[in-house]
Chains A and B, each alone.
Chain A
Amino acid sequence: MIPEIGQLSLILAFCFAIIQGILPLIGVWKNNATLSNFAVPAARAQFVFIALAFICLGYSFYANDFSVLYVASNSNSHLPLVYRLAAVWGGHEGSMLLWVSILAVWTMAVTMFAKGLPKSFRIRLIAVMGLVSVGFLAFIIFTSNPFERLVPAALDGRDLNPLLQDPGMVFHPPVLYMGYVGFSVAFAFAIAALLDGRLDVTWARWTRPWTTVAWVFLTLGIAFGSEWAYYELGWGGWWFWDAVENASFMPWLIGTALIHSLAVTEKRDAFKVWTVLLSICAFSLSLLGTFLVRSGVLTSVHAFATDPGRGLFILIYLVVVIGGALLLFALRAPTVGLGERFEVVSRESMLLANNVVLAAAASSVLLGTMYPLLMDALGAGKISVGPPYFDAVFVAIMVPGIFLMGLGPLAKWKKTSLPEIGTRLRVAAVISVVSALLVPSVMGKLTLMAAVGVFLGIWVMSTSLILLGNRIKTRQAAVPNLIENLKGIPLAFYAMLLAHIGIGVFILGVTLVKGYESEQDLRMEVNDVAQIGNLEFRFEGAKEVAGPNYLSSQGKFIVTSNNKEVAVLHPEKRFYPVQGAMMTEADIEPGVIKDLYVSLGEPLENGAWSVRIYIKPFVRWIWAGCILMALGGVLAFSDRRYRVVNKKNTKETQDLQEAFES
C-alpha cells in the first residue's frame, strides 16, 4: 500500500509541477492575475507530494519491504538502520527522487523567502523552477520509478554496495545535491530576468544570497566527498580527477566565477550579460553532472545504473533546458547593455581576470572529462585522459589567478594604481617569498612546485591580513576603539577574507601533501616493525571480528616515536557476504601536522599481511580550507546589507507591483 501511495504522490506532484510551470507564465504574459496566482500554491502542493513520496520510499526501506524492486536491490535486512535510510539515495532511482526533493525544498524556500521581489518576476521565477521539476519528475515516473514492485517479493535484499556503507553516504549526497540543485535558483533568476527584461543592480542583489548558499553547500559537498574517498578507498588519495568528481567540480568553478561576477553587477552595474551566462552555465553543468553520474556512461563508483533509455531522456532534457536557455539568452542579451565603464587597471578588470581564469579552468576540465566519452560515442576508440593532464593544466591556469587574488581586493572600483597596490603589498611579498624558501626546506627538499605552492598559499593569506589592517587603519580616525572598529566592518568583508584565507589554507595543504607524503607497501609478519622517518609501526597481527553484516580481519598496529606510543591503529579487511565483496577499511590517526594512515592489503602465509602505510603531512588543511571557504559563504549570506536592502526593496517593489497590477 505504502509504495502505491508514494507512486500516486509522485504523479500528483508531476501534475502540480505542470500547473506551476505553465499557467503562471501564461498569466504573466497575458496579464491574467488568476492564472499568475497559481504559482505559489502549486509549488507548495508539489512540495507536499514530493515530500510524501520521499517519506514513503524511506518507510519501505525502514520496513524492509523487499516487494519493492528498488529496496530489494539496495538494502538488506541485516543492514543497519541508518544505512537503510541512506540507501534511499544509494541507487539511481532514489538519487533522482532526492534530486527532485531538493529542488522542491529550494522552490519552497523561494516561495517563502523571496518576498521582496516584484510580483511578475517572482511568479516567473517560481514557474521556471516548476518547468525544471516537470522534466525530472517525468524522468522518474517514466524511466526510473523507485516504487516498482517485485513479483514475487524477494526474501531478502541484495544489500547496499559496501563502499557506500559509511557515514559519508548519509551526508555527502544530500549536501552535494543541495549545491547542485541550488544553482537552479540562480538559473531561474537569470531566465526570469531575461523574460522580464530586468537585468539590473537589484536583480543582482536578489540573486546573490541564493547563489552563495548553493555555493556553500556545493563546497561542503565536494569536501565531504573528498574526505570520504580519502579514508574509504584505502589508498589515501583525496582527489582522482575522476569524471564524477569533475562533474561536481565544474559547477563549483563556474559558481565561484558567478559569485564574483555578481558582485560586480551589484556594485557597478557591469558584467550583466556575462553574469547571466554564468548563471545558465552553472546550472547546465550541474545537469550535465547528473547526466554523467546517473546515466551509467561512466566507469565509476558512482554509476549504478546502465540503461541507455534513461541516458537518451536526460540527453533530450539537457538539450531542451540548456538549448532553450541559451536561445533565450541570445535573443534577449543584446538588449541588456554593457553597464558602467571601467579603466584597464581597476577592481573590475581584476575580477574579470578572475572570471577568465575560472572559466578557462572549468573548460579544461570539461575537455578532459568529455573528450573520452565523445570519442567513445563516435566509435573512435577507447581512451582515457590521465590525471597528469588535469594536474598540469589546472595548476598552470590557476597559478596566475591565485596571484591576482592577492591584488584584486586591494584594487579600487573603476580605476586604481598598480604602483600603489605594490607598495601596500611589499610586506606580504617578503613574507611569502621567505616562507616559500623556508617551509619546503624544513619539510625536506626544496622543489619548485613546493616553493610556488607555499608562496601562493602564504601570499593569499598575508595579503588578506594586510587588507584587514588597511581597513582598520582607514577607520581608526573615526572609530578609535579597536573592538568597535572591527565590529563596524561589514560581515561581507570578513566573508571575503575568510574565504580567501580558506583558499590559502587549501593550497598549503595540497602543496605539502603532494610534495612530502610518504608511502610504503610492505609485507609484514606479526611483530614486524616498519620504520618511517622517526615513527615505528609495529604490526601485532590480525584477528577475526564480526560486524552486523560483515566479517572482518582486524589488524592492530602500534605506532611509537622514540619509544613513546603515538597511536594504535586498527585497519580492517571486511568481507560482505551478501554481495561477496571485500572492502578495505583504512585506519587513520588524524592530526594538524600529519595523518598516519594504515590499510591492510591481502593476507599472506603465517599470519603475515601486505600492508600499506602512509604519512600524509597537512592533508587535513585541504578540507579545513574548504570549510573556511564555506564559512566565508555563510558570513556573506548573513550580511545585514541584504536584509536592509530587502526592506527598502519592499517599498520599491510595492510601487512596481501596483504599476504592474494597474
Chain B
Amino acid sequence: MKARHKRFGLIAVGLLLLVIAAVLITKSFRSNLVFFFSPTQVEKGEAPKSGSFRIGGLVESGSLKRMPDGLHVQFKITDTAKSIPVQYKGILPDLFKEGKGVVAEGKLNKNGLFEADQVLAKHDENYMPPEAAAALEAAKANKAKGEAQ
C-alpha cells in the first residue's frame, strides 16, 4: 500500500513538473518569436513600435554609406515600392551587396531608422532569402493592383 502511495505521489510530482515545463516553454517561445515585415508594411506602421522584428528586401543601389569610423554603416532596404533606412554597426556578411537580397533583424527607432543588430545575406549570388523574395513579390502584386485600378 505504501509503495503504491509513493508511486502516485511521484507520478503527480512528475506531471506537475511537466506542466510547469510546458508553460515555461510556451512562454519563452512566444516571447522569442520574431515576425517578418516588408518595407511597405513598415512604412504603413504595421510593424511593432518597440521590440525586434525582421525586415527584408533588396539593398537599394547607391544607398550604402560607411561612417568615418569604418564600422557603422547605413543603407536602405527596398521592396521596390518603399524603402526603409537601416543602420548597422559591425562587419557585414560576405554576400552583402547593393542590389542583392538581404534580411535584417532589429528595432525601429523614433526617427524611423531601423537599427539592425543582425544582417543576414547568406548563400550564393543567385540566391535570395525567402523573406526578401516574399517582400518583393508582395510589392509587385500591389503595384499591379494599383495600376489595374
Contact = CB atoms under 8 A, between A and B. Distances in A.
Contacts of B66: 604
Contact of B124 (A161, A522, A601): A161
B128 to A, nearest CB: 10
Interface string A297-328: 00111000000000000000000000000000
Interface stretch (A108-116, A181-189, A383-391, A478-486): A383-391
Interface in A349-377: 356, 360, 364, 367-368, 371
Nearest to A574: B94
Contacts of A602: 91-92
A608 B70 contact: yes
B43 interface: no
B123 A381 contact: no
Contacts of B89: 521
B35 to A, nearest CB: 5
A299 B131 CA distance: 9
B94 A364 contact: no
Contacts of A301: 122-123
Task: Name the residue in B3, B34, B92, B124 with the highest tally of chain A Cβ atoms < 10 Å from its Cβ.
Answer: B124
Contact of B7 (A344, A356, A368): A344
Contacts of B24: 393, 396
B33 interface: yes
A429 interface: no
A610 interface: yes
A193 B106 CA distance: 52
A599 B91 CA distance: 10
Contacts of B92: 601-602
A476 interface: no
B130 interface: yes
A356 B122 CA distance: 37
Contacts of A382: 35-36, 54, 130-131, 134
B11 to A, nearest CB: 9
Given A383-B33, A580-B125, A612-B91, A523 B10 contact: no
B25 to A, nearest CB: 5
Interface stretch (A34-42, A47-55, A117-125, A581-589): A581-589
A579 B125 contact: yes
B124 A383 contact: no
A388 B91 contact: no
Contacts of A521: 71, 89-91
Contact of B28 (A392, A583, A608, A610): A392
B70 A389 contact: no
A386 B34 contact: yes
Interface in B58-105: 66, 69-71, 89-92, 94-95
Contacts of B3: 343-344
A592 B117 CA distance: 31
Q: Which of B52, B66, B94, B134 has the most CB of A within 10 A?
A: B94
Nearest to A349: B10
A234 interface: yes
Contacts of A69: none
Given A367-B29, A581-B124, A583-B94, A522 B71 contact: yes
